[in-house]
C-alpha cells in the first residue's frame, strides 16, 4: 500500500540561483551524516544554487547546532557588510573569501572584493543524527536542539531548516538517509531539506518585500 506521508511539491518553481545557503552539520553518526549532506548539496545544485554560494560547516554533535547556526547567520551578515563597505571604497582586509578562492595575502583589494560573498545567508540547513541509546541523553538532546533551532529561526528571521533525524534504531537512521541495509534503502531526506531551504528562502524574501 502506498504511503500518504511526505511533503507535497512547492506550488511555485524553485529557483535557487540568487540564494546563499549554509549547511551546518554535526559529526556524530558520520555515515548517515555524510549521505544526508551529499543529498542536500546535490539537490541545492539541482535547484540552481551556485557552488560558491553553499557554505558547509561542522560541529561535534547535534547539541552544538543551534549556536553554530546562529553564529553562521550573524557572521555572514558581518561578511556582507564588510563587502559593501569595501565596494564603497573602504578598507579591504582580503579575508572572508569562499573556501575555493582565498586570494594570497597582499593581492589587490579589487580582486579580493570581487571574490567576497556580498550577501548574508538566505537559509541555513541544520543536519544532525540522533539515535536513541539506553539512557535519557537522546530525549534531552532532541528537545534542546529542536527548541534551540526554532529559537534561532524566529530570533534571526532567517529560515533554519530542521534536518535533524531522531531515530529509534540505526536502521531507521540509515533508511532516512537513503542507505538502508535491509530490503528498503529508504529515501534521502537531505533532498527534501534542500527544497525546503530554497522555498523558504525565496518566500521569505518575497514576504519581506510585502509581495503575496
Q: How far is the CB of 182 from ligand RBF (least distance, A)?
A: 21
Q: How far apart are CA 8 and CA 25, in angstroms?
A: 25
Asked if 59 contacts 68 with a C-beta cutoff of 8 angstroms, the reply is yes
**Which is nearest to 187 in space by CA: 200, 170, 172?**
172
Q: How far is the CB of 142 from ligand RBF (least distance, A)?
A: 9
- H helix intervals, the chain: 30-46, 65-87, 109-115, 137-156, 170-175, 189-208
SS3 category, 55: strand
Q: How far apart are CA 136 and CA 117, in angstroms?
A: 42
> Which of 4-12, 61-69, 70-78, 186-194 is the region at the interface with ligand RBF (rule: CB under 6 A)?
61-69
166 lies in the binding site for ligand RBF (CB under 6 A): no
Residue number, 16 or 66, with CB nearest to ligand RBF: 66
62 lies in the binding site for ligand RBF (CB under 6 A): yes
- For the window 100-139, what string marks contact with ligand RBF as x by the rule CB under 6 A? ----------------------------xxxx-x-x-x--
Residue 24 C-alpha cell reads as 551546518
Residue 153 C-alpha cell reads as 529561526
Residue tagged active-site, from 52, 137, 187, 189: 137
E strands, the chain, are 21-26, 54-59, 123-131, 160-167
Q: How far is the CB of 151 from ligand RBF (least distance, A)?
A: 17
For the question of residue 137 being annotated catalytic, the response is: yes
Q: Which of residues 23-52 bind ligand RBF (CB under 6 A)?
A: 26, 28-29
Residues that bind ligand RBF (CB under 6 A): 26, 28-29, 60-64, 128-131, 133, 135, 137, 141
Amino acid at each position: 500500500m502506498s504511503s500518504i506521508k511526505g511533503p507535497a511539491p512547492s506550488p511555485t518553481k524553485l529557483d535557487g540561483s540568487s540564494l546563499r545557503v549554509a549547511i551546518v552539520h554535526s559529526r556524530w553518526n558520520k555515515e548517515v551524516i555524510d549521505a544526508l549532506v551529499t543529498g542536500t548539496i546535490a539537490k541545492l545544485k539541482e535547484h540552481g544554487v551556485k557552488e560558491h554560494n553553499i557554505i558547509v560547516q561542522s560541529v561535534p554533535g547535534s547539541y552544538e547546532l543551534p549556536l553554530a547556526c546562529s553564529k553562521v547567520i550573524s557572521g555572514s551578515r558581518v561578511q556582507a557588510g564588510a563587502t559593501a563597505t569595501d565596494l564603497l571604497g573602504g578598507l579591504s582586509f582580503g579575508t572572508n573569501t569562499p573556501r575555493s578562492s582565498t586570494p594570497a595575502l597582499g593581492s589587490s583589494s579589487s580582486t579580493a572584493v570581487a571574490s567576497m560573498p556580498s550577501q548574508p545567508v538566505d537559509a541555513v540547513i541544520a543536519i544532525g543524527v540522533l539515535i536513541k541509546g539506553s539512557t535519557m541523553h537522546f530525549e534531552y538532546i532532541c528537545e534542546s536542539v529542536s527548541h534551540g533551532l526554532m529559537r534561532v529561526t524566529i530570533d534571526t528571521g532567517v529560515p533554519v531548516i530542521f534536518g535533524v533525524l531522531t531515530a529509534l534504531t540505526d536502521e531507521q537512521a540509515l533508511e532516512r538517509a537513503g542507505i538502508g541495509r535491509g530490503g528498503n534503502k529508504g529515501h534521502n531526506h537531505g533532498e527534501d531539506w534542500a527544497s525546503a531551504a530554497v522555498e523558504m528562502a525565496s518566500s521569505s524574501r518575497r514576504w519581506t518585500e510585502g509581495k503575496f
